[in-house]
Amino acid sequence: MLRVAQELADDLASDAVARDRDGKPPAEEAERIREAGLPGRLGPPCGPYGTDWRTGCAVVREIAAADSSLGELLARHHVLARSGRFFGTRHRATQLERTAASRQWLWAGELRTVTDGARPDDLTLTPDGSGYLLDGRRAVRAGAAVADQLLVDAVCTGSGDVLVVRVPRDRAGVAVEPVWERLGQRVAGAGTVDFERVALTPREVLGTAPDDEESTAPSTALASPALRLALAHVALGTVEGALAEARDVSRGAAGTGADGWAAGGDPDLLVAYGELAASAHTAAAVVERATDAAADALTAGAALGVDEQFDVAVQVCAAEEFTSRTALEATARVLELAEAPGLDRFWRNARTLTAHRRSAPGLRHIGGHYLRETGRPGQCATRRSP
C-alpha cells in the first residue's frame, strides 16, 4: 500500500504548483485517488479491505508531502471511515465498512461534537415516518464536493439527542457551494453544504453522540484525538515536503550533487538546513509515538481504560502542538533559503491547517498531566476558536 501511495504522491507532486494556483475543487484529483484504490484501502481492517492505523497514517503523510490539500482530504477520510466503530455497534460498523470499502466510498464531513466539542445548532433532524428529514447548513473543510458520503451530526427535534448520520452526496436536497480563493489548502475541496429536507433512513443513522464525558464510551472518546492526530500527520508531511523541495532547489543552485554540496556548501546554509532537519526529525518522533499509542487504543476499543484514554489524549496534544509549531516555522524559513515558483504554498497550507487552533488549552492539560499525572481524556481536546 505504501508503494501505491508513493506512486500517487509522485504523480500529484508533478502538477501540485499548477493545481494550487488554479484552486479548483479536486474532482480530477479524487478520481486519481479512486484509481489508486485508496478509499477502500484507507479505512479500518475489514476482510480484504482497509489497513491498520499506522500504515494509514503513513499514507496520509506521504500524500501530504506532495500535496497537503489532498493529504487533509485523505486524513479526514481515514478517520471518518471508522465512524461506525466510534458511534455505532460493532456489527453495524462491520456491515458499513464492508459496503463502503467495496464501493470505494470517499468520506468527508464535519462532526461539531468532535471538532468543536459543542452541541450542533446548525442542523436538525425531524422524524418523518420511519426515517428523518435533515435540514440546515454546515461548513466542511475538505472533500465537500467530491465525497461519496457526508458525515454530520444534527439535533433530533423529537428526542433532543444529537445523532450522527451519513448522507449520500447525490441525495436529493443536498447542495454544495465550494469555497474559493482560500489562503491555503486550496485543493482540499472545502465547501458549505446545504441540506433541505434530505430524506434519511434509519440505516443511515450511525448512532448517538454523547452529551458529556461521563457518558462517552471508550471507542467514542477516540474520535477527536484520532482526527487531530491524522491532521498532525498532514502538518508533518507538509514540513517534509517543503524541506525536500527547498533542498532540491538549493542543490540545483549550487550546481553540484548532494555529496559535493555537503563538502563545500555555504556553512550558514548548512546550519539552517541542519536545524530544520532536526526539527522535522523531532516532530516525526513525537507524532510516531502518539500514533503507536492511538493504534493500540483503537485496537482495544471498548476495553480501553480511562487512564489509557487520557494517555492517548495527552500524546496527541503533544504531537499536535509540536507539529503545528514546526510546520509554521519550517515552511516560513525555507522561503529564506530557496526561491522557486510555488514554494510558498507550503507555508500557506500550514497556516490554513493551524489557523483556528488554540494552543493554550492543550498546553495547560499537558502541563497538568506532567505535574499530577491525572486528568480526563476530554480535557486534552484542543478546541477551535470561533
CATH code of 317's domain: 1.20.140.10
For residue 153, being part of any structural domain is answered with yes
pLDDT band at 266 (very low <50, low <70, confident <90, very high): confident
**What is d(CA 132, CA 136) in angstroms, rounded to the nearest whole number?**
13
Task: Say yes or no to pLDDT of 15 above 80.
Answer: yes
In terms of domains, do 133 and 21 share one?
no
Last residue of one domain, picked from the residues 180, 211, 242: 211
| Domain contains 385 | no
Percent of the chain with pLDDT over 70: 93
pTM of the model as a whole: 0.94
Considering the domain architecture, whether residues 9 and 98 belong to the same structural domain is answered as yes
Residue pLDDT, tens place only, 322-378:
999 999 999 999 999 999 999 999 999 999 999 877 666 777 777 877 777 655 555
pLDDT tens track for 181-233: 899 999 999 999 999 999 999 999 999 998 877 778 999 999 999 999 999 99
Question: Quick one: 206 and 350 in the same domain?
Answer: no
Q: Tell me: do 122 and 180 sit in the same domain.
A: yes
What pLDDT, on a 0 to 100 scale, did the predictor assign at position 373?
Answer: 61
Is the same domain home to 356 and 259?
yes
Task: Check which CATH number belongs to the domain holding 92 and give it.
Answer: 1.10.540.10
More reliable by pLDDT, 310 or 19: 19
Q: How much is the pLDDT for 103?
A: 97
Residue 36 lies in a domain: yes
Asked whether residue 12 is assigned to any structural domain, the reply reads yes
In the beta sheet, which residues pair with residue 49?
46
Q: Which three cell numbers stand for residue 350?
A: 500550514
Given a cut of 80, whether residue 172 has pLDDT beyond it is yes
Q: What are 107's three cell numbers?
A: 468520506
Mean pLDDT over the full length of the chain: 92
The average pLDDT across 283-307 equals 95
Averaged over 93-110, what is the pLDDT?
A: 97
With respect to residue 386, please indicate whether it lies within any of the assigned structural domains: no
pLDDT at 263: 43
93 and 112 together in one domain: no
pLDDT for 154 beyond 50: yes
Same domain, 94 and 155: no
Please identify which residue in the block is written with the cell numbers 475538505. 142
Residue 254: its pLDDT value, please?
64
Residue 138 and residue 121: Cα distance in Å, rounded?
10
In Å, what is the CA distance from 222 to each residue of 114, 227, 304, 305, 322? 10, 9, 10, 12, 20
Contacts of 314 (CB under 8 A, 6+ apart): 365, 366, 369, 375, 380
**Residue 174 structural domain:** 107-211
Same domain, 87 and 125: no
Number of domain units in the chain:
3
Q: Is the domain of 255 the same as that of 348?
A: yes
With respect to residue 77, please indicate whether it lies within any of the assigned structural domains. Answer: yes
227 and 361 share one domain: yes
Domain final residue pick, 80, 102, 124: 102
**Quick one: 129 and 83 in the same domain?**
no
Whether residue 120 sits in one domain with residue 244: no
Q: Which of 63, 79, 102 is the last residue of a domain?
A: 102
Assigned domain for 59 exists? yes
Of residues 305 and 150, more confidently modeled: 150
- The pLDDT > 90 percentage for the chain reads 80
Alpha helix (H) residue ranges in the chain: 2-14, 16-22, 27-35, 38-41, 53-66, 68-80, 83-87, 90-102, 112-115, 218-221, 223-254, 258-264, 267-300, 306-337, 345-354, 359-372
CATH number for position 129: 2.40.110.10
| pLDDT higher than 90, residue 55 | yes
Of the listed ranges 199-203, 255-259, 312-316, the one predicted with least confidence: 255-259
Per-residue pLDDT at 386: 34
Is 146 inside a domain boundary? yes
pLDDT at 60: 99
Mean pLDDT of 301-325: 92
pLDDT higher than threshold 90 for residue 384: no
For residue 130, the one-letter residue type is: S
pLDDT of residue 377: 55
| Span 278-290, average pLDDT | 98
